[in-house]
Structure 1
Amino acid sequence: MDKRVKPEGFREETLVIHADEEVAEDGSVAPAIYYSATFRARDAAEFREMASTSRHPRYYTRYGNPVHERVAKVVAGLEGTETAIMTGSGMGAIATTILALVQAGDHVIAQTRHYMSTAKIMDEMLPKFGVDVTLVEQTDVGAFERAIRPNTRLIMLESPANPTMVVTDIAAVTELAKPRGIIVVADNTFATPINQRPHELGVDVVVHSATKYLGGHHDLTAGVICTSEALADRIWQTHISLGSVLSPMDAWLLLRGLRTLPVRMERINANALALARFLEEQPQIERVHYPGLPSHPQHELAKRQMRGFGGMIALEIKGGYEETARFVSALNLPLNAVSLGGVESLVVHTAAMWGGVMTEEQMKTAGIQPNFVRFSVGLEHVEDLKADLWQALQKV
């Protein structure tokens, strides 16, 4: 009798621990790491079946791996999609998805505010391949509608947006897209499926930089594409050609990180909200951008489509670039490092980070000011973080 559990109906805390048991091959409690580039077939018929099956987990690791299969079960369960594809990075997931779904002569709609590498795909890469891109203000649903053309094939969303924490009305955009047959892709990295489930709001493809919250420990690089079986088959064809492969070790680390995602996010959500409220009261702060604050222009929208507000805070220091640099340098607990979503708090002076890869015009379009700070809140005690933030602000 098969006693392996099925994930349907599980709450998130149970799902992340048990959703992959249905594809487990042995009795080990901790999953094995399959460090094999290739897998043996028993005969010619099985080899033909392996070679012709989309996303087969035991044929060739560029196509799939048993650990990939286990991770995909968990992440697809969290996002409420039929399946998921694992990639070597978040940008691997985003670039693979976009390039798989558009071609020369197509039109794409994206936001003016996106993660910088996503913005570069829109500004620089797609036009080289004959794909037109229109950037719209994400807070204006009407701007999305006005931008739609007969050849619009894809709309790219990111909410909350990196690094400005601007929120997109996901359901309103998907309602525009569905009747027209336009595919909607959403980057859910900042929110995580614990706080927001874009597929339930009508999104066709949900992508993540799993390097961030899904992994949660700053020790891996990975991406995830969550979607239907039909779209996954289309995207997978491009994926195996581009070769953004997730290593078995990183897949294993990601699976381990996912086991604690719900409990980590509960603490991170609470810490971030408390710190956002604290920072808003400090005289050295010009503005705090956090969807959980009533002062956020889209707080009511965030409450409708999010169950928690996440661990990312953007803040503007009074003064300019130099004052902001002094604040960041004076912090002790948050580490001055790129990335986000791990157990350790991280902080970056956004203008310094983005300035190395974006033009001044691109930064202006993305809303990045010289006094902007991106703060990824971790699992440290909130009072210790408050004390450290306070002492650093005294040096501005």
Structure 2
Amino acid sequence: MAQHDRRSFLKLTALAGAFSSNSFFQQAHAEEWQAAASAVHHHDAATVAQNEDFWSVIQRGYSVSPLILNLNNGGVSPAPIVVQEAVARYNQMTNEGPSYFMWQILDQGREPLRQKLARLAGASAEEIAINRNATEALNTIIYGLPLKTGDEVVGCKFDYPNMMNAYRQRAERDGIVYKQVTFKFPVEDVDAIVKTYEQAMTPRTKLVHITHVVNWVGQIMPVQQIADMAHAHGAEVIVDGAHSFGLLDFRIPDLHCDYFGTSLHKFLSAPIGSGMMWVKQEKIAKLWPLTCYGDPHSPNIRKFEALGTRSFPIEQGIGEAINFHEAIGSRRKQERIHYLKSYWATRVREIKGVTLHTSLDPRFSCAICGVSVEGYTPTELMNTLFDRYKIHTVGIDYEGVRCIRVTPHVYTTLADLDRFVNAIGELAAGKKA
């Protein structure tokens, strides 16, 4: 292809992007995926979750390393091949003339992307801001709220560290009072969870922070019920959805929260370094942006996107990840990943010396599950699994939770999980005295 033609092709590709019938996803997968979906369209999502022929088509959309078995998808999920290709092509085009292709071409894709994210979130596009990760989204809200000395925030000791540290900085800087509840997970009692938060509240409580899916062990929290209780007491609600968006089938407004932040590079499998913030429309004006903006009191959600130069290829690659996700279906994806978690967890819990630290009830868990083996510290178990079996997990030793965190994704095969179960069985059988 001639240089001129190649540039024209890249420009046209960017202009069409993930929002047209000529998307990378359509070019790579449309025909095969349509056939796979047609074969199972008469089945419900729970049944499709166990159809290996259907999921083998999805699995081929990822580039999986043969050198390791990655069961730490709760940290960062890999992007599908079409998402990687989109980012690579957009990056190539950008570097042919950055100030032109970034601002005049790729930047024009933000509004269609905002619309696409809004549809997935079940929200208004005027409530969606695009950024780099859950930390940026949630810190924008935490630092942007007009809290003052003596105002109380109720969170949990099992919230994500970056959020806890943000509240501690506000306590040191502004004199707010930061309280934390705690739990002994797993918990399968909604009323007990709600009551724990409620007992920590006082008339000075202005904000309740809820982690939708607790990253340490995968506990799903009853966000809607906690939010309703908090609102009844006059408090606002912020939700950390880093591990729920793109995994669980829900609409953000149905959580009854006021603010929501997520990373898109987890279960949505968007490019690494992409995130999203949702703010209820009537709350936008009072929220200060994290970075400077001409009118910080503007009711326009775009005031939270004044980041200066950023990776436009990564941002536009999000659209292809949404195409990939929607072609699977949110409910099917949730059911499949829960099935994969249950597939291995129900087997290892029967092994002597093995303990699960996560509920298997789909109301209280989905993808992430904690497991420990008697005689091994979390670090020892994590390292042994990798050194001996090349299985990658993450060790958790925090607030009394001592286990490894195991998280499959849609590209994980049953053979992969059989390999993990066998490894746990061998280690349990030969555990240290």
The TM-score with structure 2 as length reference comes to 0.62
1:86 corresponds to 2:130: yes
Q: How far does residue 91 in structure 1 lie from its aligned partner after superposition?
A: 0.7
The one of 373, 387, 395 equivalent to 2:404 is 373
Distance in 1, matches of 2:21 and 2:425, equals: 53
The one of 194, 197, 200 equivalent to 1:147 is 200
Which residue matches 2:272?
Answer: 220
* Greater share of residues in helix: 2
1:280 corresponds to 2:280: no
Report the 3-state secondary structure (helix = DSSP H, G, I; strand = E; otherwise coil) of the residue aligned with 2:272: coil
1:317 corresponds to 2:373: yes
Which residue matches 1:350?
Answer: 396
1:248 corresponds to 2:312: yes
Distance in 2, matches of 1:134 and 1:95, equals: 17
The one of 386, 399, 402 equivalent to 1:329 is 386
Identify which range, 255-264 or 200-209, moves more after superposition: 255-264
Which residue matches 2:80?
Answer: none
Report the 3-state secondary structure (helix = DSSP H, G, I; strand = E; otherwise coil) of the residue aligned with 1:374: strand
- Are residues 172 and 76 of structure 1, via their aligned partners in 2, closer, same or farther at CA, if it must alter by over 3 Å? same
Matches within 5 A, 1:54-69: 65-69=107-111
Aligned residue-pair number = 316
| 1:321-380: CA deviation from partner (whole Å, max 9, x where unpaired) | 264245433464643xxxxxxxxxxx11123xxxxxxxxxxx32xx432xx101121322
- Are residues 287 and 179 of structure 1, via their aligned partners in 2, closer, same or farther at CA, if it must alter by over 3 Å? closer
Q: How far does residue 104 in structure 1 lie from its aligned partner after superposition?
A: 2.8
Distance in 2, matches of 1:331 and 1:89, equals: 33
Which residue matches 2:147?
Answer: 103
Report the RMSD for the aligned CA atoms in angstroms: 3.7
Q: How far does residue 70 in structure 1 lie from its aligned partner after superposition?
A: 3.1
The one of 189, 200, 205 equivalent to 2:242 is 189
1:172 corresponds to 2:216: no
- Are residues 149 and 331 of structure 1, via their aligned partners in 2, closer, same or farther at CA, if it must alter by over 3 Å? farther
Q: Is the CA contact (8 Å cut-off) linking 2:142 and 2:166 kept in structure 1?
A: no
| 1:170-226: CA deviation from partner (whole Å, max 9, x where unpaired) | 22211122234422111122222552535303112221121211235xx51122112
Which residue matches 1:339?
Answer: none
Identify which range, 193-202 or 170-179, moves more after superposition: 193-202
Distance in 1, matches of 2:142 and 2:157, equals: 17
Distance in 1, matches of 2:307 and 2:375, equals: 42
Which residue matches 2:164?
Answer: 119
Q: Which runs of 5+ in 2 are unaligned?
A: 1-15, 25-85, 184-191, 294-303
Report the 3-state secondary structure (helix = DSSP H, G, I; strand = E; otherwise coil) of the residue aligned with 1:103: coil
Q: Is the CA contact (8 Å cut-off) linking 1:159 and 1:186 kept in structure 2?
A: yes
The TM-score with structure 1 as length reference comes to 0.68
Identify which range, 380-389 or 91-100, moves more after superposition: 380-389
- Percent identity over the alignment is 14
Distance in 1, matches of 2:273 and 2:249, equals: 22
Distance in 1, matches of 2:335 and 2:219, equals: 22
Distance in 2, matches of 1:247 and 1:227, equals: 23
Structure 2 counterpart of 1:273, one-letter code: S
| 1:294-338: CA deviation from partner (whole Å, max 9, x where unpaired) | 4xxxx6x53xxxxxx432111122124264245433464643xxx
Q: How far does residue 130 in structure 1 lie from its aligned partner after superposition?
A: 1.9
Report the 3-state secondary structure (helix = DSSP H, G, I; strand = E; otherwise coil) of the residue aligned with 1:249: helix
The one of 162, 172, 196 equivalent to 2:215 is 162
Which residue matches 2:7?
Answer: none
1:75 corresponds to 2:131: no
- Are residues 143 and 169 of structure 1, via their aligned partners in 2, closer, same or farther at CA, if it must alter by over 3 Å? same
The one of 253, 270, 290 equivalent to 1:238 is 290
Q: Is the CA contact (8 Å cut-off) linking 2:348 and 2:424 kept in structure 1?
A: no
Distance in 1, matches of 2:240 and 2:346, equals: 26
Q: Is the CA contact (8 Å cut-off) linking 2:355 and 2:372 kept in structure 1?
A: yes
Structure 1 counterpart of 2:346, one-letter code: R
The one of 261, 264, 274 equivalent to 1:207 is 261
Distance in 2, matches of 1:121 and 1:88, equals: 17
Q: Is the CA contact (8 Å cut-off) linking 1:107 and 1:133 kept in structure 2?
A: yes
Which residue matches 2:55?
Answer: none
| 1:126-179: CA deviation from partner (whole Å, max 9, x where unpaired) | 433322111113653223223223332221101221112233222221112223
Distance in 2, matches of 1:256 and 1:333, equals: 30
Which residue matches 1:391?
Answer: 423
Distance in 2, matches of 1:124 and 1:270, equals: 40
Distance in 2, matches of 1:29 and 1:285, equals: 46
- Are residues 331 and 97 of structure 1, via their aligned partners in 2, closer, same or farther at CA, if it must alter by over 3 Å? farther
Q: How far does residue 89 in structure 1 lie from its aligned partner after superposition?
A: 2.1
Report the 3-state secondary structure (helix = DSSP H, G, I; strand = E; otherwise coil) of the residue aligned with 1:114: coil
- Are residues 282 and 258 of structure 1, via their aligned partners in 2, closer, same or farther at CA, if it must alter by over 3 Å? farther
Which residue matches 2:52?
Answer: none
Distance in 2, matches of 1:76 and 1:388, equals: 37
Distance in 2, matches of 1:320 and 1:124, equals: 36
Report the 3-state secondary structure (helix = DSSP H, G, I; strand = E; otherwise coil) of the residue aligned with 2:119: helix
